[in-house]
Chain A
Amino acid sequence: MAYALVALGFVLALNAAGAVNFAHGDLVVLGGAIAVVAGQSTGLAAPLLLPLVALALGCAGIVAARVAILPLAARPPEATFVATIALAAIIEHGLTVTLGAAPRTAPALVGSGSFDIAGVALGRQPLAIVVVGGVLVAGVWFLLERTQVGRRMRAVSSDRHMARAVGIPVGRYIMLSLALAGALAGIAGLLLGHQFLVAPTQGAGHMLKAYIAVALGGWGSVPGALLGALGIGFFETFVSAGFGDAWASVALYVGVLVVLAFRPQGLFGEPAGRRA
């Protein structure tokens, strides 16, 4: 579920800014790190940290795009790739310098323990992650599909030029999308940070999974990204149960290469008629 949040943020930023953000994974780590530090210094419980982290990373998402994506809009996509990779390295090494390289634990969302449901033991923590993730995904879906703000965000990512021509203040909606993308990354960082700890070097891994989810689910498609993320989650869980984590990842990457070799447009293709 946390993957879904990462992928959702990734695709929102992709649609709003029109570019891959290689630093998205490091925004996730940054979210986790802020949760660690804020948790230690304020002693606040995780549910209270959640909005704090979301707010901080919302701002970080905007700053990231302002620094490394939006100024390069007129250049070939590779310029943005390099700029965001550099940004990712800045976040990673910035965290290493300030916090050290050792992994740390983010505060738990709820107390430990488990429920017994029909004889299956469910940890309270994983359950809480699924619930929080589910609520957020549903919330974002509601925002995009059912509100005027969401419609306008989608109109802006569909055709920025035309959106201006019907009087939508495009700049404001792009910033909003980027802030939302950052906030989702931050929350994902907090959720992942308890189970898998927080270490500065994790960013690339998070980013790669979101990238794969979006590429497989259909470039730029929000439901596709969610499906892709859930698919990756299930795939890893089941394959790693049989063969171990590492080989599950190898199988996943080989799968990606095979898909790209046979379907250069991604598994479900680009969304039809971006510019009808």
Chain B
Amino acid sequence: MSRIFLDVGDFVVNAGEVVALLGGNGAGKTSLLEGILGFRPTARTVKLFGQDVSSLAVEQRVALGVGYVPEGRRVFAGLTVRENLEACSTASAVERRRRVEQMLALFPMLGERPDARAWLLSGGQQQMLALARALMNEPRLLLLDEPTLGLAPVIVADLLEHLARLAGDGMAILLAEQRAGLALGAAGRAVVLSRGRVVRMAPARELAADPALADLMAAG
């Protein structure tokens, strides 16, 4: 099986790597992620795990093995932490419970209050819940949209550590970020988007040292 888990025409994301998707506000990062998921039409040809998915609905694309952490977290507010996780699972009851316990162990922040309603959680806890929820069905590709927004630096570090470990286990991760400094520290490669188009593609280390990056990011 090919190691290219995501192919959107002008760039790909391989198994086991974190790719940073950079760009200012309005550069088209969210549109691209929603296009990959099938929430909105896109001019690009999207291939997930080598398969052209243009005729598939959102649920079908997700079922191929895609996890999604949306901008603004969007946890199910009235459900408890445990219920948020369980509701996402497509597995049998026994397997479902095993996965939930696994997630609660993986994210100690959630493990402390499994029965709290999601809207009572702090921003950091909600972000971890959104991530744990995306991992419930053991995806092979993870899409994250501005996951660090509004989080304290300690929690950002914790989050990025989780992503690095997941990539180490073979997951493909596309991390859309406006805060290029953070994302470049966590990614191997980076793609810069401006007005919906890819304007730069480079190894993260090379881009981080590039003085032109600030202008690219500010240009939107």
A and B touch in the complex (CB under 8 A): yes
Interface residue stretch chosen among A107-115, A155-163, A178-186, A237-245: A155-163
Considering only CB atoms, which chain B residue lies closest to A166 in the complex?
B88
Report how many residues on chain B are interfacial, defined by Cβ distance under 8 Å: 32
Taking the complex as formed, is B118 at the interface, i.e. its CB lies under 8 A from any CB of chain A? yes
Task: Give the residue of A158, A164, A167, A168 whose beta carbon is less than 8 angstroms from that of B77.
Answer: A158
Do A148 and B68 touch across chains, with their CB atoms under 8 A apart?
no
Is B219 close to A, CB under 8 A? no
- Residue from the list B58, B75, B136 in contact with A164, Cβ < 8 A: B58
Q: Contacts A148-B96, A151-B83, A276-B126 known; A165 to B76 CB distance under 8 Å?
A: no
Please determine whether A159 and B76 come into contact, CB atoms closer than 8 angstroms: yes
Number of A-B contacts (CB under 8 A): 81
A168 touches B68 (CB 8 A): no
Stretch at the interface among A53-61, A208-216, A228-236, A267-275: A267-275
Nearest-neighbour CB distance to chain A for B157, whole angstroms, equals 23
B87 touches A276 (CB 8 A): no
B79 near A155: Cβ-Cβ < 8 Å: yes
Partner of A166, one of B73, B77, B134: B134
A82-120 near B? 1/0 per residue, CB < 8 Å? 000000000000000000000000000000000000000
A152 within 8 A of B: yes
Determine whether the beta carbon of A276 is less than 8 Å from that of B86: no
- A276–B83 touching, CB < 8 Å: no
Chain B residue at minimal CB-CB distance from A274:
B77
Instruction: With both chains docked as a complex, state the minimum distance between the C-beta of B26 and any C-beta of chain A, in angstroms.
Output: 20
Is A206 interfacial (CB-CB < 8 Å)? no
- Min CB distance B176 to A, Å, is 14
Give chain B interface residues in 91-130, CB to chain A under 8 Å. Answer: 93, 96, 118-119, 126
Nearest chain B residue, comparing its CB with the CB of A157: B78
Beyond the given A154-B76, A154-B87, A158-B77, could you list 12 further A-B residue pairs with CB under 8 A, ordered by the A residue number?
A151-B86, A152-B87, A154-B78, A154-B79, A158-B76, A158-B78, A161-B39, A162-B70, A165-B58, A166-B62, A275-B72, A275-B74
Q: Can you list 17 A-B pairs with a CB-CB distance of less than 8 A?
A: A148-B86, A148-B89, A154-B76, A158-B79, A159-B74, A161-B39, A161-B74, A162-B70, A164-B59, A166-B134, A166-B136, A167-B59, A167-B63, A168-B87, A271-B78, A274-B77, A275-B72
